């Protein structure tokens, strides 16, 4: 329960930060040459932040339902808290935002920035964590086949990586927190039955200048938001100032390169 409370505090802070952060998205003005300085990887019983699970429903492949039956080996620790408290709150926040000012447009497989507004039923969904098929059978006594979608999450790993930018004399850093796993989703509705499996990759990226104890934030982004990486902080004024002071390396080309929105490659 202590771990559950800590994760809820972290998620509450993240949601509040996302909701109140303002900033207009634009291309990065600086060119970075990232070098890995720290990396750790560990297995988790389930997703610590279910951005991928929440984003799965925005692809338009499912009819409206009332309940998500979430099968995950993380039952009993963090997943119970995440499913019950975080996901509906997170969906409601995204539905209230003007995401077109944050999402990196022009990238492949990007959904409409305001996709959430087309699926109002998602914000009122009940995410019900379960641990096995027997529980699904029990719940089917009270639910019709059009009331629910079964979502399974497994094979999750959690990574933390820190990169330094050699173009800035190692004074610019990028912190990446990534989660990888697998999602399976089944909708038994006779009108629109479906079964899908997809990889679940979600991450938060923080780019800052200075030492880790005294720094200025250059950008903060999350993935996936409506199928893409979304920037909720882009401090162009500071980046421009650092470039003028020759503390950051200016991007030579002003073209919008989709690859420039990728995070650095993490080791396997």
User: Does 254 reside within a domain?
Assistant: yes
User: Does 268 reside within a domain?
Assistant: no
Among 18, 98, 111, 102, smallest CA distance to 58 is for 111
| % of the chain surpassing 70 pLDDT | 72
Sign of the Cα torsion 119, 120, 123, 128 reads negative
pTM of the model: 0.77
Domain that holds residue 143: 2-261
Is residue 208 predicted with pLDDT exceeding 90?
A: yes
Tell me 186's DSSP state: E
User: Does 16 reside within a domain?
Assistant: yes
User: Does 28 reside within a domain?
Assistant: yes
The structural domain count of the chain equals 1
- Return the higher-pLDDT residue of 71 and 212: 71
* Average pLDDT estimate for 124-150: 82
Is residue 17 predicted with pLDDT exceeding 50?
A: no
For residue 43, give both structure tokens. 């297995």
Q: What is the pLDDT of residues 209-220, one digit of tens each?
A: 998 788 899 999
User: Does 266 reside within a domain?
Assistant: no
User: Does 123 reside within a domain?
Assistant: yes
Reported residue count of the chain is 268
């Amino acid at each position: 329960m202590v771990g559950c409370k800590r994760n809820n505090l972290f998620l509450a802070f993240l949601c509040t930060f996302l909701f109140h952060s303002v900033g207009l998205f634009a291309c990065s003005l600086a060119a970075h040459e990232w070098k890995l300085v720290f990396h750790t990887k560990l297995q988790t019983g389930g997703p610590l932040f279910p951005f991928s699970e929440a984003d799965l429903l925005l692809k338009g492949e499912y009819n409206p339902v009332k309940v998500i039956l979430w099968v995950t080996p993380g039952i009993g620790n963090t997943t119970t808290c995440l499913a019950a408290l975080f996901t509906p709150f997170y969906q409601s926040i995204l539905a209230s935002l003007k995401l077109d000012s944050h999402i990196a447009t022009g990238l492949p497989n990007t959904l409409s920035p305001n996709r959430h507004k087309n699926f109002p039923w998602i914000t009122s969904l009940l995410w019900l964590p379960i641990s096995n098929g027997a529980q699904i059978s029990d719940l089917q006594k009270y639910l019709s086949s059009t009331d629910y979608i079964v979502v399974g999450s497994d094979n999750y790993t959690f990574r933390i990586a820190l990169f330094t930018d050699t173009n800035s004399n190692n004074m610019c850093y990028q912190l990446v927190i990534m989660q990888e796993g697998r999602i399976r989703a089944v909708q038994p509705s006779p009108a629109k039955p479906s079964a899908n499996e997809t990889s679940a990759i979600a991450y938060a990226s923080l780019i800052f200048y200075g030492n880790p104890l005294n720094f200025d934030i250059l950008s903060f982004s999350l993935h996936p938001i409506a199928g893409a990486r979304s920037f909720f902080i882009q401090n162009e004024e500071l980046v421009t100032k650092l470039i003028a002071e020759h503390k950051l390396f200016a991007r030579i080309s002003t073209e919008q390169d989709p690859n420039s929105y990728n995070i650095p490659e993490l080791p396997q």
